[in-house]
A and B are shown apart, each in its own frame.
Chain A
Amino acid sequence: MRTQTAAKELAAVIAESQQRVVKIYGAGGFRELEAYQTGLLVSPDGHVLTLMSYVLDTDDVTAVLADGRRYEAEYVGADPLTELALLKLPPLDTPLPCFDLSAPASASPGVPVLAVSNLYGIATGDEPVSVLQGVVTAVADLDARRGAAQARYRGQVYIVDAATNNPGAGGGAVVDLEDRLLGVIGKELRSRVTGTWLNYALPADRAAASVEAILTGQTSGDDALLLPEDPLTTLDLGLRLVPDVLPRTPPYVDWVRPGGPADAAGLRPDDLVVFVQSAAVNSCQDVAARLAEIDREEVVALSLLRGDELIQCELAAEPPAEDQP
């Protein structure tokens, strides 16, 4: 019974994602060089994010929407570092469904994901693209720089246990079960040591940065991280963790400011922080790193353990000091 309910939810998430994924056809068609790949709608007026690849090496790049409509896609630009390219469909009468890059989601290992792409070019016309399921198995630096055919990008990627990176899948979406874009399926990479094909996705925030850079005419640099200018700190939330003395100090609450947000939520010293938003945290450093990704204006969800009791709460930072009299 539960399985059926869950499958229905899953089916809805899948249907949403499939609407935002396009089939891209261009150059290629030779042995092991497929003339197709996948793209993501990232704006209602028809911007399509995809891989920069030989498929785009032609004036005739065609994008086929989920409903079967076909359009010539115009090349806007590419980010040479992430090897992502941006295409633009001709102006359409109605806005298109798209992934929201303005609020990129992230995930940590163990998070269930779906990979949505036209791998092997299985779908044509109005046929829905393929969906695979799996979990994020690691968030790790991509180290595949040796050789011209390998990737230039060397930042963090999601490693996935589903066979996401198949021929034609590049440019597809890795989404979480709430249909938020976590990453863009990267080009096919194979280890020269083990012969293993890597299944990975470029994080959505890096993809968003690439899109931004392409649209503003600047390509992103190696260190361009899209962190909020004014991130949250534990003190903003009215609490302090135990001193960070170990390589992985468990993130116990050390002190709660009376009258602060944490106090109002009922948090107490010796509560153990186990999750920040959707990410499991094992150390004080984890907590700090996670909070650094969250803008001060945002509400943060925390999960804590007190003895054997699980406490879940949502905290907002106190108004900035200058607002106070």
Chain B
Amino acid sequence: MRNLVERITAEVAECAENKYFHSFRGLCVLCGSYKLLTAVLAMSSVVDATAFASDDSLDQLLAEEQARVEVIREFTPAVVAIFDGQGEGGGSGVIISPDGYALTNFHVTAPCGPAMKCGLADGRVYDAVIVGIDPVGDVGLIQLLGRDDFPTAPLGDSDTARVGDWVYVAGNPFLLADNLQPSISYGILSGVRRYQYPAGTLLEYADCLQTDAAINPGNSGGPLFDAEGRVIGINGRGSFEKRGRVNVGVGYAISINQIKRFLPMLKSGRILDHASFGATVATSPGNGVFVDEVLDSSDAYRRGLRYGDRISRFGGRDVRTANAFQNALAVYPKWWPVEVEFSGRDRSLTREMHLAALHQEEELFDLVQQEAAKPADNPRPPKEPEDPGGEEDKPRGKPNPLRQAKKQQDLPEAVKQRYTARRGYANYWYNLRKRDALWDRFQASTPTAPLNGEWTIEGVTAAGLPCKLNAGEDDAQITLPQGVFSADFTGRLDQQQSPPGSGGLLLAVRLWQRLLARGPAQYGEVYYHGALPLASDSQPLDCLVGLHAGVECRFYFDRASGYLAAVDAFSNEWSDRCRITFAAPTELDGLRVPALWRVTSGDREFATLTLTSWRVAAPAADLSEQAEEETP
């Protein structure tokens, strides 16, 4: 009896102190029930667990553990270990489409140059090429090459994430993944919708997720998964300060919903910018957020926002503090439309405003170059760790084959085929490809050759009154119920705002005609911007931006059918744009053209034209035939 007692005592002690201790932690927290913990601790530490195989609570705990194992097993193949060409710097990433697009941090890709080596858990190393970067949001998009069936991780919804949700961090902390297997850590969301001030010159983490799952140097760029294994964020920062560069329970991930908004633009190969509002705000404690300065060149000013106005909602979010306002603003790409509720001076308004760019383009490109010139951040643990009680140095049995990779000037062949350097772009190759694919799809939906020439268009206004438009290369004229208006295009194109109140309808038609006649390669400069919505409550549309004679024009294409959905012409930066929104093309006089035009400028509707006739006179010179593809 006494022997038995001693043996059981020893077992209880050992189990409680060592054996089962760590597995309890996850299990017990998960079950959330203290009684269950009590029962299981008692049972598993003293009695053979198999005796309780039928016990529901134990089964539940084991099932939950098994579920975690399954979730990890499912997402692991999509986790990427990124190494720079020399194998010295690097980080983590996650594949989001079978053709190899993977998300990571800008600060991981910046020191790598155009090419990197990516290891997957299957033990294989793939070449990858930079695609696009969002340096302010610290996001980089790369493409792994060599397969069209890469394992992917599904994207989740970070807006529904709540404090206390269980999350997984997967990645390559301290670049430990010499065997290319990701490390997994587990924890809860400690905070959501966090704002982290800009670090250095660029990076600003707004609306980010905070977790106590370990995020260490080298985890940068890797995924934060929700309990179901969906990507809800890209890990990129931690609070360290005096604690040294190791996890202290405070890591931050860029929310995936912000990244989703930027994703089509990342695929454009450009260097992306975030948005600015054109007005600054201050908190009045207990009262909300008030405008303390507004630029008179901003869309906000044109929509009526003034000094002293109180802003109550921005982009669908209540804002009560300047911090909350900045958090709501900083998740938007430049040019995005948002709805803003504001009040003051006996009025209360809800207006849609188009955000401006946060940086001057050249300033942004310079900052990115400076960032890329910095030496790679070495995420490996320090050789003499401050904490001698920490783990022993990682085993280094064989040299890392990645470290023997060649220098970047000597790009791998697969990368060379997909990389074109150009100022303003992370990789111009992707922009050209997107631009031309978009144009091809448009032409399939709307044959452009029959439209080449001078247009004579007749129709009726919303009031049923006749209107007529003549549009040629050098001039245009429109007859509307309110009068006859013309424009001359032989001189400067900027400041062409005829007819008054339209924002430049004739100019917009002229530039559209030019794009149809010449195609994107001959128009002037035309680039693929990504996807932008026409209004804050509508779906993003593919957008080409054309620059010609100092005027910017945006062409929006329906993402499903490829037809032209809208044209924005900006006669100058101080005035509202002219926007023509088109209905889907129909047959008119043997042409395939949009027969319904809605012309707006700012928040004013200028005209709605229903066309009855569209004739094309022979072109002076067939420029479209000369259009050649630009070669990278």
Contacts and interface: CB of A to CB of B under 8 A. Distances in A.
B16 interface: yes
Interface residues of B, number: 66
A226 interface: no
A274 interface: yes
A3 B39 contact: no
Given A120-B250, A195-B389, A278-B38, A2 B5 contact: no
A173 to B, nearest CB: 14
Contacts of B32: 5-6, 9-10, 177
Contacts of A14: 163-164
Nearest to A11: B164
B184 interface: no
Contact of B250 (A135, A166, A310): A166
A305 B42 contact: yes
Interface string A74-114: 00000000000000000000000000000000000111100
A4 interface: yes
A3 to B, nearest CB: 5
B9 A250 contact: yes
A109 B212 CA distance: 20
Most buried by B among A18, A120, A275, A278: A120
Interface stretch (A121-129, A202-210, A214-222, A259-267): A121-129
B24 A135 contact: yes
A274 B42 contact: yes
A132 B190 contact: yes
B320 A274 contact: no
A308 B50 CA distance: 11
A246 interface: yes
Interface string A271-313: 0101100101011000000000000000000010100101010
Interface in B26-78: 28-32, 34-35, 37-39, 41-43, 46-48, 51-52, 60, 63-64, 67
A127 B239 CA distance: 17
A166 B21 contact: no
B212 A7 contact: no
A324 interface: no
B227 A282 contact: no
A69 interface: yes
A195 B387 CA distance: 5
B248 interface: yes
Nearest to B283: A125
A133 B42 contact: no
Interface in A175-212: 176-178, 194-197
Contacts of B42: 274-275, 280, 303, 305, 310
A143 to B, nearest CB: 16
Contacts of B163: 11, 14-15, 18, 128, 131
B51 A2 contact: no
Contacts of B625: none
B219 to A, nearest CB: 15
A297 to B, nearest CB: 22
Given A14-B163, A177-B29, A194 B243 contact: no
A131 B387 contact: no
A7 B39 contact: no
Interface string B168-208: 00000000000000000001101101100000000000000
A158 interface: no
A278 B33 CA distance: 11
Contacts of B165: 7, 11
Contacts of B387: 194-196
A233 B378 CA distance: 61
B388 interface: yes
Nearest to B63: A2
A258 B383 CA distance: 68
Contacts of B38: 275, 278, 303, 312
B34 A283 contact: no
A70 interface: yes
A269 interface: no
Contacts of A162: 212, 249
A133 B249 CA distance: 9
Given A69-B286, A275-B38, A282-B12, A3 B60 contact: no
Contact of B34 (A32, A126, A176, A252): A176
Interface string B266-288: 00000000000000000101100
A7 B46 CA distance: 29
Contacts of B5: 246, 249-250, 252
Contacts of A275: 38, 41-42
Contacts of A120: 239, 241, 250
A123 B191 contact: yes
A155 interface: no
Interface string B82-115: 0000000000000000000000000000000000
A64 to B, nearest CB: 10
Nearest to B10: A248
B587 interface: no
A126 B29 contact: no
Contacts of A11: 162-165
B39 A310 contact: yes
Interface in A217-267: 246, 248-250, 252
Contacts of A278: 34, 38
Contacts of A2: 30-31, 60, 63-64
A311 to B, nearest CB: 10
A79 to B, nearest CB: 27
Nearest to A121: B239
B166 interface: yes
Contacts of A248: 9, 13
Given A122-B239, A131-B191, A283 B9 contact: yes
B321 interface: yes
Most buried by A among B41, B43, B248: B248
A185 to B, nearest CB: 12
B250 A68 contact: no
Contacts of A308: 43, 47-48, 51-52
B166 A310 contact: no
Contacts of B210: 122, 130
Most buried by B among A7, A246, A272, A275: A7
Contact of B247 (A129, A131, A163, A252): A163
B190 A130 contact: yes
Contacts of B193: 127
Contacts of B249: 119, 132, 162-164, 166
B242 interface: yes
A44 interface: no
Most buried by B among A109, A122, A133, A162: A133
A307 to B, nearest CB: 9
Contacts of B52: 308
A310 B227 contact: no
Interface string A153-167: 000000001111011
29 contacts: A2-B30, A3-B166, A11-B165, A13-B164, A14-B164, A68-B285, A109-B21, A110-B24, A110-B28, A111-B37, A120-B239, A120-B250, A127-B193, A127-B194, A127-B324, A130-B190, A130-B191, A130-B250, A135-B25, A163-B247, A166-B243, A166-B250, A176-B34, A177-B29, A195-B386, A246-B5, A305-B42, A305-B47, A310-B39
Interface of B: 5-6, 8-9, 12-13, 16-17, 21, 24-25, 28-32, 34-35, 37-39, 41-43, 46-48, 51-52, 60, 63-64, 67, 162-166, 187-188, 190-191, 193-194, 210, 212, 227, 239, 241-243, 247-250, 283, 285-286, 320-321, 323-324, 386-389
